[in-house]
């Protein structure tokens, strides 16, 4: 039985993964920003849990605040001595450029800075368990064009660029985490999944009737669950998976120099929030 943290577990792919992993008998700490939504997922997890198993209480934290991320790491640390799996799954896209309470472009803050800080604060717990870090990326990483001098897209923000950059950052972070810490880490693309991700997009509302042609959240969570729990370790040389197989990445996602520079730049951005 593994100790597993899933962020973004209040809805969509993360909720499905939390229920599926609980059903396999794992201790899943489900994290989200809405206590109400997490309560409903906790009920689903309890229904899926093996007879007699106690499902841990969920963890409420708004990952757009790096102080909250640090508090979440502390709370996880107080609940578990060793962490087998950290699934950095929470994510969003926004219809216009927004800025977090900490002053960071919101998509960068939630999709990249938060998983970076949460993971680095939990490195000891992960290493103690020989743990794995799984980060939900996307095929949209191909639209990423990271400019380290304009990570917050103060010049020329557009939705798919900010989202693509954050998903490219997820893959670069995954490679660099493995290189710097030795922790087993993978990112993955879940497919096109029928979730609330693009809830504020006019295009999404238009194509909503086509939702039945998209994957279910459970189908989207399949590769996450597999990467988290497969007895055989997935390929350590492949930082990005899709459908349980190494996926094709953009040239930027394979750029080791960019991965190292992004790590250093990100560490500097989150440094004021580490204590």
Ligand X SMILES: NC(=O)c1ccc[n+]([C@@H]2O[C@H](COP(=O)([O-])OP(=O)(O)OC[C@H]3O[C@@H](n4cnc5c(N)ncnc54)[C@H](OP(=O)(O)O)[C@@H]3O)[C@@H](O)[C@H]2O)c1
The pair phi, psi for residue 32, each rounded to 5°, is: -165, 175
Of 115, 190, 239, 247, the one binding ligand X (CB under 6 A) is 190
Identify which of residues 27 and 89 has a Cβ nearer to ligand X in the complex: 89
10 binds ligand X (CB under 6 A): yes
Smallest separation (angstroms) from ligand X to the CB of 51: 28
Of 19, 72, 76, 90, the one binding ligand X (CB under 6 A) is 90
CA angle centred on 77, ends 73 and 80, rounded to 5°: 135
196 binds ligand X (CB under 6 A): yes
Identify which of residues 47 and 192 has a Cβ nearer to ligand X in the complex: 192
| CA quadruple 156, 188, 236, 81: dihedral, nearest 10 | 100
Q: What 3 state SS string does the chain have?
A: CCEEEECCCCCHHHHHHHHHHHHCCCEEEEEECCHHHHHHHHHHHHHHCCCCCCCCCCEECCCCCHHHHHHHHHHHHHHCCCCCEEEECCCCCCCCCCECCCCCEHHHHHHHHHHHHHHHHCHHHHHHHCCEEEEECCHHHHHCCCCHHHCCCCCCCCHHHHHHHHHHHHHHHHHHHHHHHCCEEEEEECCCECCCCCCCCHHHHHHHHHHHHCECHHHHHHHHHHHHHCCCCCCCCCCEEECCEECCCCCHHHCHHHHHHHHHHHHHHHHHHCC
Determine whether 163 is an active site residue: yes
59 binds ligand X (CB under 6 A): no
Smallest separation (angstroms) from ligand X to the CB of 161: 14
Smallest separation (angstroms) from ligand X to the CB of 130: 25
Smallest separation (angstroms) from ligand X to the CB of 128: 25
Max Cα-Cα span within the chain: 55
Binding mask 118-157 for ligand X (x = CB under 6 A): ------------------x-x-------------------
219 binds ligand X (CB under 6 A): no
34 binds ligand X (CB under 6 A): yes
Identify which of residues 8 and 131 has a Cβ nearer to ligand X in the complex: 8
85 binds ligand X (CB under 6 A): no
172 binds ligand X (CB under 6 A): no
Smallest separation (angstroms) from ligand X to the CB of 124: 23
64 binds ligand X (CB under 6 A): yes
Of 29, 32, 115, 247, the one binding ligand X (CB under 6 A) is 32
Which residues of the chain form contacts with ligand X (CB under 6 A)? Answer: 8, 10-14, 32-34, 37, 62-64, 89-92, 110, 136, 138, 189-190, 192-193, 195-197
Q: Report, as residue numbers or ranges, the catalytic residues.
A: 163
């Amino acid at each position: 039985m593994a100790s597993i943290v899933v962020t973004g577990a209040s809805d969509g792919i993360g909720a499905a993964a939390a229920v599926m992993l609980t059903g396999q008998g794992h201790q899943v700490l489900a994290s989200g920003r809405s206590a109400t939504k997490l309560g409903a997922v906790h009920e689903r997890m309890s229904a899926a849990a093996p007879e007699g198993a106690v499902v841990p209480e969920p963890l409420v934290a708004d990952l757009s605040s790096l102080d909250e991320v640090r508090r979440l790491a502390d709370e996880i640390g107080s609940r578990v001595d060793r962490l087998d799996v950290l699934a950095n799954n929470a994510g969003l896209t926004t219809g216009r450029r927004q800025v977090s309470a900490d002053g960071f472009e919101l998509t960068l803050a939630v999709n990249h800075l938060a998983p970076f800080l949460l993971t680095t604060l939990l490195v000891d717990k992960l290493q103690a368990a020989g743990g794995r870090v799984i980060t939900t990326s996307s095929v949209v990483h191909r639209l990423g064009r990271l400019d380290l001098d304009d990570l917050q897209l103060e010049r020329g923000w557009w939705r798919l660029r900010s989202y693509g950059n954050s998903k490219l950052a997820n893959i670069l972070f995954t490679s660099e985490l493995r290189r710097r810490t030795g922790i087993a880490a993978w990112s993955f693309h879940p497919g096109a999944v029928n979730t609330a991700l693009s809830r504020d997009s006019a295009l999404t509302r238009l194509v909503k009737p086509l939702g039945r042609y998209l994957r279910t959240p459970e189908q989207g969570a399949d590769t996450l669950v597999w990467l988290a729990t497969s007895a055989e370790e997935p390929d350590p040389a492949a930082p990005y998976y899709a459908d349980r197989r190494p996926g094709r990445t953009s040239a930027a996602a394979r750029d080791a120099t960019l991965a190292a520079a992004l790590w250093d730049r990100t560490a500097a951005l989150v440094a004021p929030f580490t204590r």
